[in-house]
A = this chain, B = another copy of it.
Amino acid sequence: MEEITVEFEEHIDSLIEKRNFLRLKQILSDMQPADIAEILDEAKDKDILVIFRLLPKELAAEVFVEFDSDKQEFLLNAFSDKELREVLDELFMDDAADIIDEMPASVAKRILKNTDANTRRMINQLLAYPDDSAGSIMTTEYIDLKRTMTVDEALDKIRRVGLDTETIYTCYVIGSRRKLFGTLSLKDLILSPKDAIVGEIMDENIVSAHTLDDKEDVAAMFDRYDMLALPVVDNEGRLVGIITVDDAIDVLQEEASEDIEKMAAILPSEKTYLKTGVFETFRSRIPWLLLLMISATFTGAIISSFEARLAQCIALVAFIPMLMGTGGNSGSQASVSVIRALSLGDIEFRDIFRVIWKELRVSLIAGIVLAIVNFAKLYLIDYLWLHTFDTGAELYEMITICITLIFVVVVAKLVGSTLPIIAEKCGLDPTVMASPLVTTILDAVSLLIYFGIASVLIL
């Protein structure tokens, strides 16, 4: 696997410094767009413009798509109208729409001014779909065939228009008013006799998405059905665009990052870590920190209300972090397992009782094992060896802690596993129910269980 090494980057940098553009052009022309964009990312703006102009047109457009929106905006402003049109000509419709979506109004206006009426109409149509819909990630450049065509005619059409479509490997068979009748892979076309009729060899079991379907669900279909492209239809079953597998991968990766961020109490961001400014990072993290800090004062209030009694048996305080921590960890294990299973489609609301029954058994075993280990540790190390317990009430304290552990683990697993399912059923985002919120709820619950059992046995 080739990687961009530090040495290679330094070599490129020195070529830029020496203004050795001929050699630069040779090297860059043989590289992948994503790698060129990464290397240019560190270069000075004016160098980027010079180097960008060296690249062959198609490659230049591909590199342009890989840049972040700040760099794209800089380049668009630096381009002449002619250069702008050349780059736009090479872009696929979905990429063009994505770029315009990120630009300030003046730049977007200039881009649209430099496209023909037909392209402008299509871009505006793509921009109108909601951000998280299938329509927002589809492209409108695909190959459509008629049912009456022969294989030979179909291949001719592919040769004619293939260069400007995002994929030629799946073709779409449509009738009047673009109604979708079937799909036909280039593989089947190539492997069929030249005089076979498209309508007879096409695949009529179409897996398709609706323009307003959630893009996350649509991306999951690529995982499930191993497709390279998926047709997108409107309410009347008319073909309006296609989604290709590379865009589906992007969605899957973004959604995984978003889930991970939400589980860590961060508001999801679209930029990469180092590209996000300090203030922006601060803003994505402070809401949950504030909310969790304030909700943690409830835990504090619970402790305060037991303050007088705790002062009499201060040894109990030392076990608060362990009990709260174990409760939080047990709960987040269960909630994260359930959330991931929900998002992969492995469980649904109707499975809630199977989940509860499973977590009940798992938590009982786990709670009992933890209690036994804890008792052994308290008895052998703290009591017999270190003599930490010397108040006379030691046995009651040990029993209190071990019983609390079992209850805390069971309650934590049940709360942690059911909250996400209930949240999803209520139309809320189950991921928000993950670690931090569940942990904070469980902190309070664990303490109440602890003090409740302690009140009965000791205080």
Q: A256-B256, A333-B265, A340-B261 are in contact. Are A186 and B169 (CB under 8 A)?
A: yes
Confirm or deny: A239 has a beta carbon within 8 angstroms of a beta carbon on chain B: no
Determine whether the beta carbon of A366 is less than 8 Å from that of B289: yes
Determine whether the beta carbon of A303 is less than 8 Å from that of B282: no
The interface size of chain A toward B, counting residues with CB under 8 Å, comes to 121
Please tell me which one of the listed residues B222, B248, B259, B299 contacts residue A260 in the complex, with CB atoms under 8 A apart.
B259
Determine whether the beta carbon of A279 is less than 8 Å from that of B228: no
Determine whether the beta carbon of A346 is less than 8 Å from that of B273: yes
- List residues of chain B with CB within 8 A of the CB of A365: 278-279, 282
Instruction: Mark each residue of chain A from 419 to 454: 1 if its CB lies under 8 Å from any CB of chain B, else 0.
Output: 000000000000000011001100100010000000
Please tell me which one of the listed residues B168, B223, B250 contacts residue A223 in the complex, with CB atoms under 8 A apart.
B250
Mark out the residues of chain A between 160 and 219 whose CB falls within 8 Å of any chain B CB in the assembled complex. Answer: 162-163, 168-169, 186-187, 190-191, 204-205, 207-210, 213, 217-218
- List residues of chain B with CB within 8 A of the CB of A297: 322, 377
- List residues of chain B with CB within 8 A of the CB of A273: 337-338, 340-341, 346-347, 355
Please tell me which one of the listed residues B158, B265, B285 contacts residue A362 in the complex, with CB atoms under 8 A apart.
B285
Confirm or deny: A329 has a beta carbon within 8 angstroms of a beta carbon on chain B: yes
Confirm or deny: A369 has a beta carbon within 8 angstroms of a beta carbon on chain B: yes
Determine whether the beta carbon of B333 is less than 8 Å from that of A1: no
Instruction: Mark each residue of chain A from 296 to 339: 1 if its CB lies under 8 Å from any CB of chain B, else 0.
Output: 11011101100100110011011111101110011011011110
Confirm or deny: A264 has a beta carbon within 8 angstroms of a beta carbon on chain B: yes
Confirm or deny: A288 has a beta carbon within 8 angstroms of a beta carbon on chain B: yes
Confirm or deny: A351 has a beta carbon within 8 angstroms of a beta carbon on chain B: yes
Confirm or deny: A70 has a beta carbon within 8 angstroms of a beta carbon on chain B: no
One complex includes copies of this chain to the number of 2
A361 to B278 CA separation, bound complex (whole angstroms)? 7
A296 to B324 CA separation, bound complex (whole angstroms)? 10
Determine whether the beta carbon of A337 is less than 8 Å from that of B261: yes
Which residues of A are in contact with B by a Cβ distance under 8 Å? 1-2, 6, 30-32, 34, 155, 158-159, 162-163, 168-169, 186-187, 190-191, 204-205, 207-210, 213, 217-218, 221-226, 228, 245-246, 248-250, 252-253, 256-257, 259-261, 263-266, 272-274, 278-279, 281-282, 285-286, 288-290, 292-294, 296-297, 299-301, 303-304, 307, 310-311, 314-315, 317-322, 324-326, 329-330, 332-333, 335-338, 340-341, 344, 346-347, 350-351, 354-355, 358, 361-362, 365-366, 369-370, 373-374, 377, 388, 409, 435-436, 439-440, 443, 447
